[in-house]
Amino acid sequence: MKVKGKQALIENVSGYLFLLPSLLGFAIFFLFPVLFSLFLSLSKWNLSAGFSDLKFIGIENFKTILSDVWFTDSMKNSLIFTAATVIAGVSISLVLAVILNKMVYFKNPLRVMIFLPYISSAVAVAIVWSIILQPTYGPVNQFLRSLGIQNLPNWLADVQWALPALIGMYIWQNMGYNIVVFMAGLTAINSDLYEAAVIDGAGALSKFFKITVPMVSPTTFFLVIMGIINSFKVFDQVQVLTQGGPGTSTTVLALYIYREAFQFYDMGLASAAAWAMFVIIFIVTVIQWIGQKRWVTYD
């Protein structure tokens, strides 16, 4: 009995010793920040003013952001950005993954080529795109002009085209990841299913919609959830390419938060906006989680 007690003590002590570095980092850089940011979101505080000026104001910050057109516009932009990148990104990737998985030669080199944008840094890629999309002498517009198209968009400097251009670039950059994950999911599908379908006379299209789509749905579910979370947090590309402009046209949530915090030093408002972002991600994820029973097939 005594030995057992000593043993348990050793286990407890060594457990916490092993965990100590991670626990310290976790407490300082995750747990405390989360709690403190919750507190800040309910306070009025400008960084330049010092702590004596911190005032508890309840949900006032949330009321302020809801009536701030920069916030509501950034919310709208983030929702459009997320919906477009997730829906288009995931469905295009699924089709390409199916083709890449079974129906081509040189599968591996092709996969590496498609994965290249994903592995490259967002900043380098964004810089390249900003030059390629340059309105007057960028290669894209020069190419379109050579086809005789008039009134070309100014892309990133265009109120109407900046967000679509960002969406296109983001889909392009993340497609490789989606395809690689889909391919892993596809190899897990039992090939007997396809053979049985062929015997029943199913064509390529009905095989795709009746077998591939439902059987790969756990992977789709994962990609949709991760895609929503990541698209909602998009920052690098936008900061490098447009800084949210022109006007509010590409101001997304993460950019709004960054600007409130580190350009206007309004830490309370920034924290409130960050929590609003979390709540939306959380709600969407929960809805997906509940909704998955309707369309995700687990065997």
Name which of residues 236 to 255 contact another protein (CB under 8 A).
236, 239-240, 253-254
Residues touching another protein: how many (CB under 8 A)? 96
In the block, tokens 């000026």 appear at 53
User: Which of 48, 146, 150, 191 is close enough to bind another protein by CB under 8 A?
Assistant: 146
User: Which of 4, 5, 22, 290 is close enough to bind another protein by CB under 8 A?
Assistant: 22
The number of beta carbons lying within 10 Å of the beta carbon of residue 89 is 23
User: Which of 91, 142, 160, 190 is close enough to bind another protein by CB under 8 A?
Assistant: 142
**Rounded to whole angstroms, how far apart are CA atoms 86 and 245?**
22
Contact (CB, 8 A) for 42 and 57: yes
Smallest distance, another protein to C-beta of residue 226, A: 8
In the block, tokens 């009321």 appear at 63
The conformational region for residue 50 under phi > 0 = left, psi -120 to 50 = alpha, else beta, is left
83 vs 124, which CB is nearer to another protein? 124
Instruction: Pick out residues in 77-106 that bind another protein (CB under 8 A).
Output: 96, 99-100, 103-106
86 vs 175, which CB is nearer to another protein? 175
Smallest distance, another protein to C-beta of residue 55, A: 16
| Interface with another protein, residue 75, by CB under 8 A | no
Instruction: Pick out residues in 152-171 that bind another protein (CB under 8 A).
Output: none
96 vs 162, which CB is nearer to another protein? 96
In angstroms, the Cα distances linking 224 to 93, 164, 296 are: 12, 20, 12
Instruction: Pick out residues in 197-226 that bind another protein (CB under 8 A).
Output: 218-219, 221-223
Binding mask 24-53 for another protein (x = CB under 8 A): -xx-xxxxxxx-xx--x-------------
Smallest distance, another protein to C-beta of residue 12, A: 5
The CA-based diameter of the chain, rounded to the nearest angstrom, is 89
Burial bucket for residue 212 (CB in 10 Å: 0-12, 13-18, 19+): buried
Q: What is the DSSP string of 29-70?
A: IIIHHHHHHHHHHTEE-BGGG-GGG-EE-TTHHHHHHHT-HH
Smallest distance, another protein to C-beta of residue 293, A: 13
Smallest distance, another protein to C-beta of residue 58, A: 19
Smallest distance, another protein to C-beta of residue 267, A: 5
54 vs 80, which CB is nearer to another protein? 54
80's tokens:
């459009």
Smallest distance, another protein to C-beta of residue 24, A: 8
| Interface with another protein, residue 283, by CB under 8 A | no
Alpha helices in the chain (DSSP H): 2-26, 32-41, 60-66, 69-102, 107-119, 122-132, 139-146, 162-187, 191-199, 204-207, 213-215, 217-232, 236-241, 253-262, 267-295
